[in-house]
Chain A
Amino acid sequence: MTALHATSGLLALDHVTVMLGKRQFGPFTLSIRPGEQVAILGPSGAGKSTLLKLLARELNPATGQAHFDQRLLTDWSLAELSRRRAILPQSHEVAFGLPVDLVIGLGRVARAHDPYLNSIVQQAAAHACAAHLLERRFDTLSGGEKARVQMARVFAQLWDVEQGLLLVDEPLAALDPGLQFELMDAICSFASKRGHSILAILHDINQALQGFERLILIKHGTLVGDYQTSHVTLPLLEALYEVRLASAMTEEGEMIVAPSLKQQMLSNSCLDY
């Protein structure tokens, strides 16, 4: 992979490592094209969140270079960066019980002059199915409602931007399947309309297989695979999770994956003890 290739694309990592205490993660080399929808899969503790933090600039590379839109990630100011990429966090808590419209508006806090703020807040809320929550206080919301409001905040942040980047960290894991589907759909349609790239950490393999065109596989703190979704095979996923999987085809030709009930092939799981 040439250096030229490494800096091209919306987001590009070139042999980036990151240290978390004494543990080293990486090296990661990958590139995300504008508008691409990528899922990150991997077992718990594999380093998915660390990779996301690196991309979010919460962690700085120990070695290697990370570029965002042809510029070194560390050269971006936080305010500039916030106008191009947004992050949907795993936890939803907000202190003090701020009103929902204010929370959503906070996505645009880095803009000094923002004449359309009110209408953007309204539209972002509507797109996240949270329009009816605008008058409420955040701390009175249920878990699902909080997730919608946080999503609306992220939508507001990148509402009038094109070719931005949306980083998503398992925001829907605790929600019921219907809501998960609805919200993931909202994210994808929001992003594809504006040409935003999505990079999402997911727990649900099926969600990744169905909604995303490319899968990045992470294990033991490093990149173990980077595939177009259509090229992902069952053994790859089995090796990733060290679990035996079974698959079935839906009538529409989508592959559904689930852990197999027969797990005897596992060699290094806790079941061996």
Chain B
Amino acid sequence: MTSFISQSSRTTSTVWGLPQWFASKPAWLLSLILIAGVWAAATMGAVPVTWQDWLAVLKNSDEPLSGGAYVLWHLRLPRILFAVLIGAALALSGALAQGLFRNPLADPGLLGVTSGAACAAALTIVLLASSGIEVPAALRYWLLPATAFCGAVTVCFILDSVARWLTADSIAGLLLTGIALNALAAAVIGLCTYLATDEQLRTLSFWTLGSLAGANWALAGVLLITLVLALWALRQLTHAMNALALGEAAAAHVGVNVRALRMRVIMLVAVLCGFAVAWCGMIGFIGLVAPHIVRLLVGPDQRRLAPLAMLVGAILLLLADTAARTVAIPAEIPVGIFTALLGAPFFLVLLARMRKGV
């Protein structure tokens, strides 16, 4: 069988094989930037933190932390980790959606996943209040994130089944379904806003502003596990995602089970996006911009794109959130403003460079 291969040219594969993205130059650079960013973010904030505070945090003694050490350990560090993880999750969901739809402008917002999550949250806020059901305090903390997550997953399932039923295995059908679902979700959110009392609007506004203020270690841990699992699932998908660029029919011809692949990618997007929206509200731009930046840096190969996009997303959201925390000390500015401020110009510069063919 191998008689058609010239044996001499057997080399260690740089095209295939395990993803060697971490050995590449952009990966190193981005990792360094991220580490520097984390360090900078940890030193910046409303409360001054001294090196004694760092020692106190690192010492791990039984004494309860106080002062700067308390702020560092209980507020700042979990929030930094949270920003990194949410940024990575948003960027990865964006990269996956763009690969799935073979469209660099596709992102979970376009799919209706984000608005589906927000829609479920809005419905819960308004319906629960008018039904008069008392939710136990312990549950209340998890209720909205849980419903937002369910909303994202539901949208993905509707998306998949409707699109398949309308136009089997066609990406265009899926996209159109996403647009319709988006409009539907927007209408429901609009209706909720109209029906909501002032008190409910308050909760709704948190959802639309987006904030990382709710960070804590437990949440960050859950998110970290989710991301690791997502990366593990991704490892097997990136090969096939590349083939999807050939078109669905050609992808099937080279042996990719397009239907199963689509299902898995959609579920991944739903999980990542649902988590992000559930805990942080709607934070725009990361899912769109991070994969773009990476594509311009290292090209569209999904095996490098997905992990590097996570790094870029983490850096972007960390920068944005650090700015949100520190620009107006002791007040805080909604992080969505900074994701747009950081993301949009960067994106434009890179677009201009791409036009010049650099």
Is residue B243 contacting chain A, with contact meaning CB distance below 8 A? yes
Q: Is the CB of A194 within 8 A of B253?
A: no
Alpha-carbon distance between A123 and B6 when the two chains are bound, in angstroms: 9
Identify which of residues 178-232 in chain A touch chain B, using a CB-to-CB cut-off of 8 Å: 193-194
Is residue A254 contacting chain B, with contact meaning CB distance below 8 A? no
Is residue B74 contacting chain A, with contact meaning CB distance below 8 A? no
Give the segment of B219-227, B295-303, B313-321 that binds chain A.
B295-303
Could you say which residues of chain A place their CB within 8 Å of the CB of B1?
160-162
With A94-B245, A94-B246, A115-B10 known as contacts, the answer to whether A121 contacts B240 (CB < 8 A) is no
* Distance from B239 Cβ to chain A, minimum over Cβ atoms (Å): 5
Q: Is the CB of A56 within 8 A of B299?
A: no
- B binding-site residues for A, Cβ under 8 Å: 1-6, 9-11, 13-16, 102-104, 239-240, 242-247, 249-250, 252-257, 295, 299-301
Partner of A105, one of B9, B11, B15, B257: B15
Q: Is the CB of A106 within 8 A of B5?
A: no
Q: Is the CB of A118 within 8 A of B250?
A: no
Provide a sorted-by-A list of 22 A–B residue pairs whose CB atoms are within 8 angstroms. Answer: A56-B249, A57-B252, A58-B252, A79-B255, A89-B249, A96-B245, A97-B299, A98-B245, A99-B299, A102-B301, A106-B245, A109-B242, A109-B256, A110-B256, A117-B13, A118-B14, A119-B10, A123-B6, A153-B254, A159-B5, A160-B3, A160-B5
Alpha-carbon distance between A194 and B300 when the two chains are bound, in angstroms: 33
Could you say which residues of chain A place their CB within 8 Å of the CB of B244?
95
Q: Is the CB of B295 within 8 A of A106?
A: no
With A58-B252, A82-B255, A102-B242 known as contacts, the answer to whether A121 contacts B15 (CB < 8 A) is yes
Interface size class for chain A? Answer: 35 or more
Closest B residue to A139 by beta carbon equals B300
Alpha-carbon distance between A111 and B249 when the two chains are bound, in angstroms: 18
Q: Is the CB of B16 within 8 A of A82?
A: no
Alpha-carbon distance between A103 and B15 when the two chains are bound, in angstroms: 11
Q: Is the CB of B13 within 8 A of A115?
A: yes
* Distance from A148 Cβ to chain B, minimum over Cβ atoms (Å): 15
Alpha-carbon distance between A97 and B253 when the two chains are bound, in angstroms: 20
Closest B residue to A91 by beta carbon equals B247
Q: Is the CB of A82 within 8 A of B254?
A: yes
Q: Count CB-based A-B contacts (< 8 Å).
A: 117
* Distance from B304 Cβ to chain A, minimum over Cβ atoms (Å): 10
Identify which of residues 127-150 in chain A touch chain B, using a CB-to-CB cut-off of 8 Å: 137
Could you say which residues of chain B place their CB within 8 Å of the CB of A50?
none
Is residue A172 contacting chain B, with contact meaning CB distance below 8 A? no
Q: Is the CB of A118 within 8 A of B254?
A: no
Q: Is the CB of A106 within 8 A of B242?
A: yes
Give the interface SS of chain B, mostly helix, strand, loop or mixed.
loop
The residue in A98, A123, A157 that gathers the most chain B C-beta atoms within 10 A of its C-beta is: A98
Could you say which residues of chain B place their CB within 8 Å of the CB of A86?
253-254
Q: Is the CB of B242 within 8 A of A95?
A: no
Could you say which residues of chain A place their CB within 8 Å of the CB of B299?
97-99, 137
Q: Is the CB of B247 within 8 A of A83?
A: no
Could you say which residues of chain A place their CB within 8 Å of the CB of B5?
116, 119-120, 123, 159-160
Question: A67-78 vs B: 1/0 string, CB under 8 Å?
Answer: 000000000011
Closest B residue to A80 by beta carbon equals B255
Q: Is the CB of A122 within 8 A of B254?
A: no
Is residue A238 contacting chain B, with contact meaning CB distance below 8 A? no
User: Lowest 3 A-B CB distances belong to which pairs?
Assistant: A110-B255, A82-B255, A96-B300
Could you say which residues of chain A place their CB within 8 Å of the CB of B9?
116, 118-119, 122
Closest B residue to A105 by beta carbon equals B15
Is residue A114 contacting chain B, with contact meaning CB distance below 8 A? yes
Could you say which residues of chain A place their CB within 8 Å of the CB of B245?
94-96, 98, 106
Alpha-carbon distance between A58 and B253 when the two chains are bound, in angstroms: 9
* Distance from B351 Cβ to chain A, minimum over Cβ atoms (Å): 14
* Distance from A119 Cβ to chain B, minimum over Cβ atoms (Å): 4
The residue in B254, B257, B301 that gathers the most chain A C-beta atoms within 10 A of its C-beta is: B254
Could you say which residues of chain A place their CB within 8 Å of the CB of B104?
96
* Distance from A127 Cβ to chain B, minimum over Cβ atoms (Å): 10
Partner of A118, one of B15, B242, B300: B15
* Distance from A158 Cβ to chain B, minimum over Cβ atoms (Å): 10
* Distance from B172 Cβ to chain A, minimum over Cβ atoms (Å): 13
Q: Is the CB of B13 within 8 A of A106?
A: no
Closest B residue to A121 by beta carbon equals B15
Could you say which residues of chain A place their CB within 8 Å of the CB of B242?
98, 102, 106, 109
Partner of A114, one of B16, B243, B257, B295: B16
Alpha-carbon distance between A152 and B10 when the two chains are bound, in angstroms: 19
* Distance from B284 Cβ to chain A, minimum over Cβ atoms (Å): 23
Could you say which residues of chain A place their CB within 8 Å of the CB of B253?
56, 82, 86-87, 89
Alpha-carbon distance between A79 and B255 when the two chains are bound, in angstroms: 4
Q: Is the CB of B16 within 8 A of A117?
A: yes
Is residue A36 contacting chain B, with contact meaning CB distance below 8 A? no
With A119-B9, A120-B5 known as contacts, the answer to whether A102 contacts B15 (CB < 8 A) is yes
With A87-B250, A98-B300 known as contacts, the answer to whether A117 contacts B15 (CB < 8 A) is yes
Q: Is the CB of B2 within 8 A of A160?
A: yes
Could you say which residues of chain A place their CB within 8 Å of the CB of B247?
89, 91, 93-95
With A58-B249, A114-B16, A116-B10 known as contacts, the answer to whether A160 contacts B256 (CB < 8 A) is no
Is residue A101 contacting chain B, with contact meaning CB distance below 8 A? yes
Closest A residue to B2 by beta carbon equals A160
